[in-house]
Chain A
């Protein structure tokens, strides 16, 4: 297990390197410098700025410096929020996004696994069909369509919940965004869960468990659930990536001061360092999370023995 972990972590290094390299050269290849303004700056000031941000050095040296800084966890100064470093912006935005994302994934897991199991147990019944139709609907309606419709119904027409804003993370303010983030994942997870549960229920261990005369509840909860959960566990990696991308839209729509919103604002205002910082940060996060998911998978699946 330890050897496998080390191998995986080493394997992540080329991915990270490519990520940072792509990020750096894309930033440099972009037309227009970070300090382009309406009026052109006097050459002395331009030179000073270039020196301050090391833009006067040869490209390869800048690249080395950028990598070095990143390795030390330094994303550099934000070009747009002049008084803040990208680190500080990430530190303020990320906890908000994290809370939304974790709540959404937790809810998606519980409801998705529940619905999928229910549909599998009553295969080809009305329950099954309605759950699967619902899931297909959830997959087909993108979250940037779903979120405004949720606002329209629950905030505008019914007036039950606030239409947006964060309000320091008040519970009422988090309900709609979390639902908007979780619904598509609920759809995917319940489809996956149904498929794998149907397969597991037909397997020999389950037949044995039933033959022993175990009550159905015990058969499902103690014997079928764990193996059936495996595909769902490996889906958690892509799901996290999807929730992170989704939160970009959701935070924009609900006006939530999370990292996704910084990202979009930064992108629209050409705040290169901020945008780049968020991409690298999220990239590292996704890579780490995939690694964790694989470890959990290994613990759950007795057939997988990493060496």
Chain B
């Protein structure tokens, strides 16, 4: 670059053809995808609401008002989503539950990410017999009804939030491992890696500059699609009464409570259900959008 500086005309031309990175390109395309953009804005809104929950309402999430049991949504008394069957404010509880659901989603996904990438990249990079054995283990685990094992864990060892993170993370890494392994395998033998080798680029640099960025795309897509799955599993457990414990709550637990007296107080079901479905919807749309945006064939 410094050598071309004295010649302004040439510098200008260089500017013109300045390459865009994979990520700038993908980001631009993601922003052009209207469904994904809407989903991102909505998700950001929900996250902000969930984080700011304590300052948005005068009520506490475990504050019981015996005077107002199952009262419908009303602006006058400040319970804008109404109250539940023991008089707790549903707006605050819905957001508080969202905190739990989103936190479980992100943390458990990270757990599965770490296990999956390590496992998959090791198998793919080493290849040969190690690869065979490692992938055979994944195959065996794949056939297990893990949902039931998570339920068993919850039953036997009590409801424990850390156990939820680990249990859900531990069942979700299999897909990740398979995807990362396949990708590493195919990347290892690609021309641009060969070219880099021929230019004398060091192995760590090849991995950092050429393999990891190409893995990242698929990992990011997969992460956005795993988070809703994890949220769903946690909600499922909470729905069965095996997830988070009172007075803490999550969207699944709230849906469960709401479903019990939905005839007299449908709002207790509909608000948390709406938040849960919208969040899952957003994650799925963003995941789909990202997949399209990062697909190099689609340029």
Chain B residues in 8 Å Cβ range of A94 = none
Binds A, one of B56-64, B105-113, B177-185, B262-270: B262-270
- Chain A 214-254 near chain B by CB (<8 Å), digits 1 or 0: 00000000000000000000000000010011001100110
Binds B, one of A110-118, A139-147, A204-212: A139-147
List the 10 shortest-distance A-B pairs measured between CB atoms, nearest first.
A30-B156, A148-B259, A140-B281, A140-B280, A279-B148, A145-B273, A267-B155, A144-B239, A15-B143, A245-B147
* C-alpha gap A278/B148 in the complex (Å): 9
CB proximity of B260 to chain A, nearest CB, Å: 9
Does A26 have its Cβ within 8 Å of any Cβ on chain B? Answer: yes
* C-alpha gap A137/B157 in the complex (Å): 35
Binds A, one of B16-24, B193-201, B203-211, B228-236: B228-236
Which bucket holds chain A's interface residue count? 35 or more
Which bucket holds chain B's interface residue count? 35 or more
Contact across chains for B240 and A156 when beta carbons are under 8 A apart: no
Known contacts A30-B157, A249-B240, A264-B240; can you find 19 more A-B pairs with CB under 8 A?
A15-B140, A26-B156, A30-B156, A136-B281, A141-B277, A142-B280, A144-B235, A148-B255, A148-B262, A148-B269, A267-B155, A267-B240, A267-B242, A275-B151, A276-B152, A279-B148, A279-B152, A283-B145, A290-B143
Chain B residues in 8 Å Cβ range of A283 = 144-145, 148
DSSP class of A's interface residues: helix, strand, loop or mixed? helix
* C-alpha gap A23/B152 in the complex (Å): 9
Chain B residues in 8 Å Cβ range of A144 = 235-236, 239, 252, 255-256, 259
Chain B: which residue is nearest A191 at the CB level? B288
- Which parts of B55-90 form the interface with A (CB within 8 Å)? none
Does B276 have its Cβ within 8 Å of any Cβ on chain A? Answer: yes
Contact across chains for B281 and A145 when beta carbons are under 8 A apart: no
- Which parts of A157-201 form the interface with B (CB within 8 Å)? none
Q: How many A-B residue pairs have CB under 8 A?
A: 117
Chain B residues in 8 Å Cβ range of A244 = 145
Does A96 have its Cβ within 8 Å of any Cβ on chain B? Answer: no
Chain B residues in 8 Å Cβ range of A241 = 145, 147
Contact across chains for A27 and B156 when beta carbons are under 8 A apart: yes
**Cross-interface CB contact of B281 among A137, A252, A282, cutoff 8 Å:** A137
CB proximity of B15 to chain A, nearest CB, Å: 37
Contact across chains for A142 and B232 when beta carbons are under 8 A apart: yes
